[in-house]
Each structure stands twice: as C-alpha cells, then as structure tokens.
Structure 1
Amino acid sequence: MPTPDFIRDLRNSIGRQLLWLPGVSAVVFDDEGRVLLGKRADTGGWSVIGGIPEPGEQPAETALREVYEETAVRVVAEQVVLVETMPPTHYPNGDVCQFMDVTLRCRAIGGRARVNDDESLEVGWFALDALPELEEYALTRIKRAVEAGPTWFHGMGEEPEGRHFPV
C-alpha cells in the first residue's frame, strides 16, 4: 500500500521509530460465495484487500474506499469479524510500524473486479476450495469471515499454549 501523506509527514518528525497505526482489512464475498483477492505489487503475494484509514475516516468507510480503489468493486460492510494487534513490521528503509487491524466481512454490490491502481498486480475472485497460496494473515481473516460468528478478539480465547490472562 502506498504511504499516505499524513504518515510521511509524521515520519519527517519522528524518524524511523515505531509508529502505531490503524489498519482495515476487507474480506469481500460475491453472490457465489467467492472471495476477492489482490496480488500485491509490494510483495507479489495474494491477500485480502486492506489499507490505512485516512484521519477521521471510519473503518467501514476505509474498507469501501480501499476495495474500490484497488479492485473497482463496490461493496457494503456487513460485520466486524476480527480485531487484532499485529507484531511490529520492520521495513527495508528502516521504518517500524505496528498495526491494529479491524477486519470487516463485506459483500460485493457492483463493479467488475480489475486492477484499479498501482497497488495490485492482479485481482480476482476465488472459490474457497481454490484459493491461491496465502499468508496466515489472509487465511485467518477469510476463515473468520466465513464463520460469520461473533467478532474475534485476539487474547480472548484460543490462546497459544502457556499464555494465560486473568479472568
């Protein structure tokens, strides 16, 4: 994802130190139950669509904007499926960011999937039994969106062995 101007401005002030940022991921389904994925220009890997909210932007607005900007597909947000703080990411230029991701299940309502900006190499619809190779990040989000259960919060169950929180 390209770096928004407001983050570049922050970097001018704080340098390369850890920057805490919100992120929004959209798991988009069509009427056939297929999931929309983008092949990222920065990593070359397939993933769910996502990005950084603009200042003052609500998570659902971010999901709708990012999906359209990257794929030309119009969506509606239906449900928050996951909220999770990710481990810090160290970028090749020395920047360090840590994201708190809000993942939304979305439904396609219009448009035709195509590469719509320079963030994606390809975009496409995939049946759940024919997904391309995906990182755990994307697989977890798709799994939670398919389950359509209550919102999953990291740290509130399914903890790694040996890690316990007081009740």
Structure 2
Amino acid sequence: MATPDFVLELRRHVGHAPLWMPGTTVVVMRSARADAPIDWESPIDPGSVEILCVRRSDNGAWTPVTGIVDPGEEPALAAAREAKEETDVDIDVRRLLSVEVVGPVTYDNGDVTTYLDVAFAAQWLTGHPRPADGENSEASFFRGDQLPPMNERFRRTIAKALSGQPRADFLAR
C-alpha cells in the first residue's frame, strides 16, 4: 500500500498543504553465519551481519524499510508491520536508534510532508524478502560492509544500528 487511507482522507481536506506525519525506519539485521548470533549489546562488525534493504519503486533509491505510523499505532509495532507489508519478513524490534525530523519532502504530485521519524534496529526472524506491496521493486539482504548506495540519513541510521550503543540519538538543542 503506497499511501495509507487516512492520509488520502486528510489530503481530501488539506490538498497539498504541509502535513506533519509520524514515520518509522527499521534496520533489519540477521547474522551472516547461522552459528554466530548477533550480540546486540556490543558493536557489530558490518561483515558479520546482513541488512535488509529495499529499492523504492518511485525513485529507485535503496533504503532500509520505512513507513508511516498509523493513527494510534505504536512506532515499534509500525516498524514490524511495515517490514511484513513491504518485504514479507517477520522481525523482532530490539532497540530504539533515533528520533528525528525528516523534511519537508515535496512529492511529484505537489504534496508536502514533514516526518517525525522513529528509527529502530531489529532482528530478522523468518521469511524470504520480496517486494510484497508494490512500494518497492527489490528487497534483499546485503552484507553490512557491502550495502548498496543510499543517502546520508540512512547510512547514519545503519551505523547507529551497528554501533551497539543503547542510547538513542536525538537533537536536544
């Protein structure tokens, strides 16, 4: 599902006017070796894990799984839901990585949105990634030291996921 129904309903009333939306990003990881589980309490060697990435259908960019948090939905549950909807994998959300403002983003149709993005690190549980809902043209695991090109925000979020630091990042002043 590309645009949630509640956003389409809002847009019926506000047109292209700026919207403030809750969003989520989730860095889904699995061990590159079945006999070596991820130690979530320590820095993670990028070569020891695989990270789930998707190629967006709209612009061809590679990203971690992202999405909009539904009204009343907990952000971590939204992250797990988005992973299932977009890639058909089940995950266990493990750690809050960051909270940040993203945007404003102006879409091709003129809609303007600014997101409050809540990012998480998650453990892959089951499923073979595939572009499950049309938002993405590809979904695949990549070794953490062989990721496809992506923007600075996503590289920073993945680095935070690999850092092992339990404290979430946020701008305080």
TM-score (norm 2): 0.86
Corresponding residue of 1:124 = 140
Corresponding residue of 2:8 = 8
Q: Aligned pair 1:57/2:73, yes or no? A: yes
Q: Kindly indicate whether the alpha-carbon contact (under 8 Å) linking 1:38 and 1:48 is maintained by their aligned counterparts in 2.
A: yes
Corresponding residue of 1:38 = 54
Question: Relative contact order: is structure 1 or structure 2 higher (C-alpha 8 Å, sep ≥ 6)?
Answer: 2
Q: Kindly indicate whether the alpha-carbon contact (under 8 Å) linking 1:76 and 1:108 is maintained by their aligned counterparts in 2.
A: yes
Residue 148 of structure 1: CA displacement?
2.5
Corresponding residue of 2:86 = 70
Q: Kindly indicate whether the alpha-carbon contact (under 8 Å) linking 1:81 and 1:148 is maintained by their aligned counterparts in 2.
A: no
Residue 8 of structure 1: CA displacement?
0.9
Cα distance per residue 1:80-107 (max 9 Å; x no partner)? 0010011201112111100010001000
Q: Aligned pair 1:151/2:165, yes or no? A: no
SS at match of 2:150: coil
| Runs of 5+ unmatched residues, structure 1 | 157-164
Corresponding residue of 1:161 = none
Aligned residues: 156
Cα distance per residue 1:94-135 (max 9 Å; x no partner)? 111000100010000111112212111111111121111111
Q: AA paired with 1:152?
A: D
Corresponding residue of 1:104 = 120
Please report the RMSD computed on the Cα atoms of aligned residues, expressed in angstroms.
Answer: 1.1
Identity of aligned residues (%): 36
Corresponding residue of 1:18 = 18
SS at match of 2:103: coil
Residue 31 of structure 1: CA displacement?
2.0
**Quick one: distance in 2 between partners of 1:148 and 1:100?**
23
Q: AA paired with 1:73?
A: V
Residue 137 of structure 1: CA displacement?
2.0
Q: Kindly indicate whether the alpha-carbon contact (under 8 Å) linking 1:75 and 1:106 is maintained by their aligned counterparts in 2.
A: yes
SS at match of 2:2: coil
